Amino acid sequence: MNAPAPTPAPAAPLRVRYRGPLADLPPATRALLMDRAGVAADASVRSRTARILEDVKQGGDDAIRALSRSIDRLVLEHLEVPRAHWMRALDALDPALRAAMERAARNIRTVHEAFKPVPVQCTPEPGIVVGRRPDPLPRVGIYAPGGKAAYPSSLLMGAIPARVAGVPDVIVCSPPSSTGFPSDVVCAAAALAGVDRLFAVGGAVAVGAMAYGTATIPRVARIVGPGNAWVAEAKRQVSTWCGIDSPAGPSELLIIADGTASAAAVARELLAQAEHDPDAAVLALLVGPGETAAAQLRQVEEALATQGREMPRLEVIAQALAARGALITVPSHGEAMAFASEWSAEHLSLMVAEPWRAPLLEGLRGAGAVFVGEHSAVAFGDYMTGANHVLPTGGAGVLHSGLSTADFVRWTSWQEVSPDAAARLADDVARFADAEGLPGHAAAARRVAAEARP
């Protein structure tokens, strides 16, 4: 006779930094939740990063090898990874994983083709034509993380839009493993994305190499891709030398959920994003009158505890929730949207009834990406929908957008003025020029007009 199964222990609650009404949120806690940009490189990281970048700028390949020995305890025989190695990694990839990566690559390409910038022109007056043309950057660099974990998805998210935009030369840097090469799955992603060159260099060293150029690693016009605090700080410091994508920090999620959303779905998304990093910021705004929203808050807490027991990275999740997690009740969608616009989340999940009803979705501003409905899990956007997962964090979404083909072009503006239009423009142009103390401009306009008249 089998002994009865033991009764499961009750789920221990996961403590969040704040739980309760938005109106009662203490100013100091509100400031902490708002200031995710403060989770950034400290002074020692900034100064050490500056020294690394200067070493790479002055010493090139020799400095890269020396820094690899001192930082990673690795002796790099070759900085560049042979293409044959990528192809072997792709051929050896688990077939199911390869199919998933190929599916993701197709969707990324399809979505970014649809959003590709196109030339435009207009005629503000008869005889005046003004145009703008997107020209692909000559060379870009993709950073693919590969220290504690490898992220082939980030390589695809950077390289494929660059190719769609028409960039002729796409290079990738990714940290080497003990083999001296990046992880096999990153090498396989490089092959799938069709990049031109792959280098076994990581961290701030890689950013410096791509920004300044060395004998082996060519200088690029823009560097994109996520990374740790060292990578983020290095990108910030080289941004006067080359373009970078939006500032990137720890992962963020803001959920707006009313009574139509399941507590299990809210908890699922909070846990998934909190497992990224102890510094991740995850908030849920629970919309409804008084006790209705309070009851939903309690249900989400219970779901967090239940689902949390099954999470292998529970220790990381617990740290993130305790530091920058919140379950906040708000009485109306309007107040939730106002808070969301101020918080400017990397990921915003909209779990409400009729999300397409004005002014819900169309009224949201500043989010890196919005996920509409509880079935639109952020994980789908991270890997498979084709939307880009390289997104602004720390409130930078007020200014920056998610990575797209627009990040891989620069615009050429052109204009043409007919003789008749020149004659009509000259007097007003001359008046402007005289008012600004530029008589040469005024004279040039009048002379062109005189020459244009029969």
Phi, psi of 389 (to 5 degrees): -100, 5
The pair of structure tokens assigned to 203 is 């961290």
Asked if 199 contacts 209 with a C-beta cutoff of 8 angstroms, the reply is: yes
Q: Do domains 18-39+249-386 and 43-244 have the same CATH topology?
A: yes
Percent of the chain at pLDDT exceeding 70: 95
Topology annotation, domain 43-244: Rossmann fold (3.40.50)
pLDDT higher than 90, residue 206: yes
Asked if 133 contacts 414 with a C-beta cutoff of 8 angstroms, the reply is: yes
Mean pLDDT to the nearest integer, 328-346 = 94
Instruction: Please name the CATH architecture into which domain 18-39+249-386 falls.
Output: 3-Layer(aba) Sandwich (3.40)
Model confidence at 90, pLDDT cuts 50, 70, 90, reads: very high
Instruction: Give tens-digit pLDDT for 130-149.
Output: 999 999 999 999 999 886 67
Instruction: Give tens-digit pLDDT for 404-424.
Output: 999 999 999 999 999 999 999
Domain ranges in the chain are: 18-39+249-386, 43-244, 418-452
- Active-site hit among 347, 374, 389, 400: 347
What's the pLDDT score for residue 4?
A: 37
Mean pLDDT to the nearest integer, 156-174 = 98
Mean pLDDT to the nearest integer, 17-29 = 95
- Determine whether 346 is an active site residue: yes
pLDDT higher than 50, residue 1: no
Comparing CA positions, the residue from 359, 352, 301, 307 lying closest to residue 330 is 352
Comparing CA positions, the residue from 146, 348, 372 lying closest to residue 251 is 348
* Alpha-carbon separation of residue 320 from 16, 41, 314 (angstroms): 8, 18, 10
Lowest mean pLDDT among 202-211, 313-322, 445-454: 445-454
- Determine whether 347 is an active site residue: yes
What's the pLDDT score for residue 40?
A: 57
What's the pLDDT score for residue 45?
A: 87
Task: Determine the Cα–Cα distance for residues 303 and 351; give it in Å rounded to an integer.
Answer: 16
Task: Determine the Cα–Cα distance for residues 397 and 402; give it in Å rounded to an integer.
Answer: 8
pLDDT higher than 50, residue 3: no
Instruction: Give tens-digit pLDDT for 244-277.
Output: 998 777 899 999 999 999 999 999 999 999 998 8
Phi, psi of 412 (to 5 degrees): -100, 120
Task: Determine the Cα–Cα distance for residues 299 and 322; give it in Å rounded to an integer.
Answer: 18
Q: What is the DSSP letter of 80?
A: B
* Alpha-carbon separation of residue 49 from 42, 52, 239, 243, 329 (angstroms): 11, 5, 14, 18, 41
What is the maximum span of the chain, computed from C-alpha positions, in angstroms? 112
Model confidence at 74, pLDDT cuts 50, 70, 90, reads: confident
44 vs 359, which has greater pLDDT?
44
What's the pLDDT score for residue 14?
A: 86
Instruction: Give tens-digit pLDDT for 357-376.
Output: 767 778 888 899 999 999 99
Asked if 387 contacts 402 with a C-beta cutoff of 8 angstroms, the reply is: yes
- Active-site hit among 333, 346, 374, 389: 346
pLDDT higher than 70, residue 294: yes
